């Protein structure tokens, strides 16, 4: 197994360690680095650390996942969330984002086309759902799946409604496992006891689409940034 675990002592430390791993991954890259970034609660300390650091190496942001069917200015869109939290403060202007309101019959092929033409992904920063989902690749999504539409499970949908305080669409657009696997380096961010079991399953259990994050056992260059609670069920 090729992953390396970095334990953080608190949220501030988590953010700083994630930021250090992030810049260590992208600073050596000569072309504009292409970077997938997640939304959710987990990366919040990481984004705070990025905002507070003047290093600000430019990169090309690649969207991981998005709600379907909302207008482009809806504040709950993940693209707008990331813009507020990271991309605008860091002045990141190159953005490959999904068009939530567009017909999936044209939007999904547009994403496939983009990845056919730009097949290099330098870094994927991801977090993990309690059921092992990555992006919106829910359990049993095939490891060779391309970007596609998904229907959230009830558990994922509940979590997502809590982000916004309102009912979010159940239909979502997500990069597939195949695009995630393109990443030359991957940083997995995990915080909290609620993720402890699935983290242990993903990193040390069977490699199976039932636990989408278990694909990480087959990836090269994986760094896991996690707090003690998230690591509490890892075998010693
Ligand atoms: C959400 C998002 C994922 C995110 C994951 C974990 O549903 N689709 O991109 O990484 O679930 O979210 P959280 O960090 O809030 O636990």
Each residue's pLDDT, cut to its tens digit, for the chain (236 residues) gives 578 999 999 999 999 999 999 999 999 999 999 999 999 999 999 999 999 997 779 999 999 999 999 999 999 999 999 999 999 999 999 999 999 999 999 999 999 999 999 989 999 999 999 999 999 999 999 999 999 999 999 999 999 999 889 999 999 999 999 999 999 999 999 999 999 999 999 999 999 999 999 999 999 999 999 999 999 999 98
| Angle at which helices 11-26 and 44-51 cross, to 10° | 70
Extract long-range pairs of 74-83: CB within 8 Å, 24+ residues apart: 74/100, 76/163, 76/164, 76/166, 76/168, 78/39, 81/39, 82/37, 82/39
Task: Tell how far the Cα of 195 is from the centroid of ligand 1, in angstroms.
Answer: 11
Tokens 């896991």 belong to which residue?
A: 224
Q: List, chain by chain if needed, residues with CB within 6 Å of any ligand 1 atom.
A: 38-42, 64-65, 127, 129, 135-136, 156, 159-160
Best of 15, 38, 160, 225 for a ligand 1 pocket test (most atoms within 8 Å of beta carbon): 38
Q: How many C-beta atoms surround the C-beta of residue 69 within 10 A? A: 15
Is 133 designated active site? yes
């Amino acid at each position: 197994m090729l992953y390396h675990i970095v334990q953080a002592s608190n949220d501030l430390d988590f953010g700083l360690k994630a930021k250090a791993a992030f810049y260590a991954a992208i600073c050596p890259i000569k072309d504009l680095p292409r970077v997938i970034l997640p939304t959710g609660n987990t990366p919040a300390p990481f984004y705070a650390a990025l905002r507070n650091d003047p290093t600000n190496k430019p990169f090309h942001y690649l969207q991981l996942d998005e709600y379907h069917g909302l207008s482009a200015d809806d504040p709950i869109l993940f693209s707008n969330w990331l813009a507020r939290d990271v991309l605008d403060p860091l002045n990141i202007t190159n953005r490959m984002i999904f068009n939530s309101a567009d017909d999936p019959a044209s939007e999904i092929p547009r994403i496939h086309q983009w990845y056919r033409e730009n097949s290099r992904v330098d870094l994927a920063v991801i977090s993990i759902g309690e059921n092992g989902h990555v992006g919106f690749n829910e359990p049993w999504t095939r490891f060779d799946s391309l970007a596609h539409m998904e229907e959230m499970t009830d558990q994922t949908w509940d979590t997502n409604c809590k982000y916004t305080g309102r009912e979010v669409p159940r239909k979502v657009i997500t990069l597939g496992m195949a695009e995630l696997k393109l990443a030359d380096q991957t940083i997995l961010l995990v915080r909290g006891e609620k993720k402890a079991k699935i983290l242990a399953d993903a990193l040390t259990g069977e490699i199976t689409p039932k636990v989408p994050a278990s694909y990480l056992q087959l990836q090269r260059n994986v760094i896991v940034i996690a707090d003690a609670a998230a690591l509490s069920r890892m075998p010693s």
